[in-house]
Structure 1
Amino acid sequence: MKYMYTYDFMESVRNTNQWLGASARAFAAYPAMAMTANPLVEWLGAWGEVTERSFERMVAKPDWGIPSIASNDDHRDHLVTVETILSRPFGDLIHFKVHNRKPKKRRVLLVAPMSGHYATLLRKTVISLLPDCEVYITDWHNARDIPVSEGKFDVEDYTLYLVDFMKKLGSDLHVIAVCQPAPLTLAATAYLAELDPAAQPRSLTLIGGPIDPEANHTEVTDFGRSVTMGQLEQTMIQRVGMKYRGVGRKVYPGLLQLTSFISMNAATHAKAFQDQIFRVAKGEASDHDKHNVFYDEYLAVMDMTAEFYLSTVERVFKGREIAQNEFTVDGHTIDIGKITTVAVKTVEGEKDDISAPGQCKAALDLLTGLPEEKKAWHVEPGAGHYGIFAGGSWRNNIRPLVLNFIDANSEPTARPKPSVVAV
């Protein structure tokens, strides 16, 4: 499927469905239609509204939508703006600047997943941290918008991006990696521990990440073991079509990823959209109701570079290079045991069916050079994958634990002095 016409065909199908929804909505809105008093017209308009919105969101990057936050210091609302700290072709380091507020002592870097959705998937996580922290986040770019001239981007490039972001922010930093980037964030920290110890963060929190995918099997890990790399390349990879700046770049298309996401819970999604059509027809829906807030984010997908997707499957899931401490970056073999001063905490959800309990905690066994008092872990009872970084479980239980962990490890730790060898 590594052809531009297959990419353009998918975009044409999406565009056509959006047009059909808009046409149905416009047809039902004709004043003359009101003369018929036919409920089918209202259902047609409702179907059109839901359909148009859904297919339109698939190619739109969501806005952060954080107008202001309340300060615990002066009990006033403060405006929030997004500023770019470091700009790179495949992703930026951005900061949520809270105006007219003294900088917070807690400086947190959120490492967002590059797994189909934009960094805005962590919007609620950001909002929950802003009152108490200076928050930075990795804002990955949609591969379809990146010209081929910018070159490749695989797991090694991702890791080096994280290294540069950490260096930029300095050592008085606390890193929180959510889901997919957890293994690569651990690798980036080990890279710094060996080659640039002064740039290491103070703490590292890994949330629901596949450090060792074999520690506890899920549908995701079973899929990774059941297909060959050749099959993945032939069925999942396409070239960006003529419509976008990245024309010709090999990618794992967002629309194809979305198909996989929805197929995992097809019946649930079908019922959700059916119910929303009924609500629109009855006049019970609103622009920012629960359905639209969720699906505006869920349906907004981005393309991944082919090399990043394939190298993730091959090296993190199949080869288990990080789980076996054999991961290399730019020819250098990373030793996770070199981490000796960075406090590490893992967080998992008891009901997580994407990165099951045990997969993330495996990181602690790799930290052979880290004292036990610098290690911590937490399994959230009853929480699924999304619940461990958003929702009630995060707000009420996990977030306070993470902030306490940050506070307990905010003071710089004495670095071990290099041994002197007599010559």
Structure 2
Amino acid sequence: MKYMMTYDLMESMRNTNQWLGSTARAFASYPVMSWGANPAIDWLKAWGEVTERTFARMVAKPDWNIPVQTGHDGTDMVVTTEKVVEKPFGDLIRFRVGNRPDRSRKILLVAPMSGHYATLLRKTVISLLPDTDVYITDWHNARDIPVSAGKFDIEDYTLYLMDFMREMGPDTHVLAVCQPVPLALAATAYLAELDPAAQPRSLTLIGGPVDPEANHTEVTDFGRSVTMGQLEETMIQRVGFKHAGVGRMVYPGLLQLASFISMNAETHSTAFRDEIIRVAKGEASEHNRHNAFYDEYLAVMDMTAEFYLSTVERIFKGREIARNEFVVDGHKVDFSKITTVAVKIVEGEDDDISAPGQCLAALGLLTGLPDSKKAAHLEPGAGHYGIFAGSSWRNNIRPLVLDFIDANSDRPRSKPGKVVSIN
């Protein structure tokens, strides 16, 4: 019961802060407060507005909000999402662009399950839509999944990816971003043994921890410094009665968010201080850069306890992927079985989450793959976010990825179109 009380305490604290912000904003908005000039009231209203929005978006799943695409004839085509495969812990969804004919490039974008929703890759999706048909793994918030649905760990995650790849067929090109990189590699290797015809054409691995020990970061140092018992005791909580997943053991999104913010606390404090100042001066807007970023960054989801713990124990501590000792459903996965799938590695020079070398280690595992089907790119000056959603991605990495896809497809593809910068 103590785990459930802690979970509800965190939610109560979040709810209280949201209420305090709302109350301050409402109080400062009373007409009587305008009878005399009082800058303190303007500051109180600004603080309340920013605080209310900040804590409210922590429990709301963001919408995709993909902009309308323009057809060759100048018509506007609305982008909608379609569920292709539905599963308890995550769906495979496709982005439909009006009545546009299918593109020759078909991409499976594997989103991370690391505390944020798949919408974290919204800008990646937008940049790929003009030239490709985009599918994405849409993982569910663990607090909304009944206990009766069973467990979900890294083995189940791998099996989900295999099912999604089978559904999409062999013309698929997989792009895995961050956390799922080693598991996407494992899913491909397992398919190479069980169902070779279902393997994707290519696999692009972007900034993921294939071998966390290849280059240490604050994330890997944390994983090495704590025991599994300490993690289970301090990080795992039980979902409260407010949610459909009541009783499920989870690693709460709010706890993960606190960890994210603590890594760059000063930067975040400055950002919120500046936003309060802009609101007080009347210089802020609904969709300014601050809101656009934090609407997504602060929206967090719970992970199942078994997924979080197995990731730390088997990927980071045991290095099962790096040592080619990963077991799925009782079967040892052999990465040397990948012999036909082209693999490209993308890393950022300044990535402080998955530092250069961690993802590159994947190529060393592919002993059965010819060197002609291996490629790697290190983006100068790029951080973790920039290699899949920033200007480095749009201007440099995306064209390289599409060229790699074209070079490893059975039929020629059209040249990539120009991507418009999205702020």
TM-score range, shorter chain: over 0.9
Q: Distance in 2 between matches of 1:340 and 1:229?
A: 36
Q: What is the SS of the residue equivalent to 2:182?
A: helix
Q: Structure 2: which 5+ residue stretches go unaligned?
A: 412-423
Aligned partner of 1:146: which letter? I
Aligned partner of 2:276: which letter? I
Look up the match of 1:195: 194
Aligned length, in residue pairs: 411
Look up the match of 2:350: 351
Aligned partner of 1:350: which letter? E
1:2 Cα deviation from its structure 2 partner:
5.6
Q: What is the SS of the residue equivalent to 1:153?
A: coil
Look up the match of 2:231: 232
Q: Distance in 1 between matches of 2:148 and 2:103?
A: 40
Question: Once the two structures are superposed, what CA deviation does each residue of 1:337-394 show, in whole Å capped at 9, x if it has no partner?
Answer: 0000000000000000000000001000000000000000000000000000011100
Q: 1:2 and 1:390, CA in 2 relative to 1: closer, same or farther beyond 3 A?
A: farther
Q: Distance in 2 between matches of 1:393 and 1:202?
A: 25
Q: Distance in 1 between matches of 2:259 and 2:106?
A: 36
Q: Distance in 2 between matches of 1:129 and 1:76?
A: 19
Look up the match of 2:65: 65
Q: Structure 1: which 5+ residue stretches go unaligned?
A: 413-423
Q: Distance in 1 between matches of 2:229 and 2:279?
A: 45
Question: Once the two structures are superposed, what CA deviation does each residue of 1:239-293 show, in whole Å capped at 9, x if it has no partner?
Answer: 0011100001000000011100000011110010000000000000011000000
- Normalized against structure 1, the TM-score is what? 0.96
Equivalent positions of 1:13-412 (< 5 A) are 13-71=13-71, 73-411=72-410
Aligned partner of 2:59: which letter? V
Look up the match of 1:418: none
Q: Distance in 2 between matches of 1:226 and 1:193?
A: 36
User: Does structure 2 conserve the Cα–Cα contact (< 8 Å) formed by 1:2 and 1:250?
Assistant: no
Q: Distance in 2 between matches of 1:129 and 1:348?
A: 19
User: Does structure 2 conserve the Cα–Cα contact (< 8 Å) formed by 1:2 and 1:237?
Assistant: no
User: Does structure 2 conserve the Cα–Cα contact (< 8 Å) formed by 1:2 and 1:234?
Assistant: no
1:118 Cα deviation from its structure 2 partner:
0.2
Aligned partner of 1:402: which letter? V
1:100 Cα deviation from its structure 2 partner:
2.0
Aligned partner of 1:111: which letter? V
Q: 1:90 and 1:385, CA in 2 relative to 1: closer, same or farther beyond 3 A?
A: same
Question: Once the two structures are superposed, what CA deviation does each residue of 1:106-142 show, in whole Å capped at 9, x if it has no partner?
Answer: 0000000000000000000000000000000000000
Aligned partner of 1:393: which letter? S
Q: Distance in 2 between matches of 1:217 and 1:337?
A: 26
Q: Distance in 2 between matches of 1:74 and 1:15?
A: 49
1:75 Cα deviation from its structure 2 partner:
4.6
Q: Distance in 2 between matches of 1:149 and 1:297?
A: 30
CA RMSD across the alignment? 0.9
Aligned partner of 2:293: which letter? F
1:192 Cα deviation from its structure 2 partner:
0.2
